[in-house]
Amino acid sequence: MKTLIDAAEIRQRVHNLGRQISDDYRHKPLTVVSVLTGSLVFVADLVREISTPHRIGVAHASSYRGKTTVPGELKISLSLVPDIRGRDVLIVDDIFDTGQTLKRVVEAFESYSPSSIRTAALLLKEGRSTVEMVPDYFCFRIPNVFVVGYGLDYNDDYRHLPHIAEMEEADL
């Protein structure tokens, strides 16, 4: 595996994103929602860079890939999301690939009457989107490669890596 984005670069971008979000949500009732499991590490770092008070919630989305890198059927669960009625929700995922996951998660949230919904992704894969939306915030654009680390997995491994690594054919 080769390192695509090292820990220092991630720290810098997450710091800047936290500042931008702090400015954008000053005096607003913000709830940051982590789309599990992939965004766990990113959100843990991001919320500590957001200086305006906010709440944290989690939602679960999984398109079970098993041993492959091809997504299966998408399942979304909002059972752990706190009350978001009248609040400004920022939904955070690890990576925006085709965009289907974030689009579906946003749709699921709309029925809970938040006052606004925006989205953030750590990574944005170039040239892959099949949806109209783009994330409101993201940290890095990457080429169409399969990446792991900093929360992202391959078959549930490698999430703990402090950097983003590219999986090569030989690793799969």
Active site members: 97
Whether 37 and 150 have beta carbons less than 8 Å apart is answered as: no
Binding to ligand 5GP (CB under 6 A) within 4-63 occurs at 38
Q: Which burial class, exposed, middle or buried, applies to 141 when counting CB atoms under 10 A from its CB (0-12, 13-18, 19+)?
A: exposed
Query: Per CB under 5 A, does 38 bind Mg ion?
Result: yes
Query: CB neighbours (10 Å) of residue 146?
Result: 16
Query: CB neighbours (10 Å) of residue 40?
Result: 17
Of 13, 47, 55, 98, which lies in the binding site for ligand 5GP, with binding defined by CB under 6 A?
A: 98
Please give the structure tokens belonging to residue 78. Answer: 């909002």
CB nearer to ligand 5GP: give 25 or 150.
150
Whether 163 and 3 have beta carbons less than 8 Å apart is answered as: yes
Query: Per CB under 6 A, does 119 bind ligand 5GP?
Result: no
Which one of ligand 5GP, Mg ion, none interacts with residue 43, CB within 5 to 8 A by kind?
none
Query: Per CB under 6 A, does 100 bind ligand 5GP?
Result: yes
Of 4, 30, 33, 93, which lies in the binding site for ligand 5GP, with binding defined by CB under 6 A?
A: 93
Interaction site with ligand 5GP (CB under 6 A): 38, 71, 93-101, 146-148, 152-154
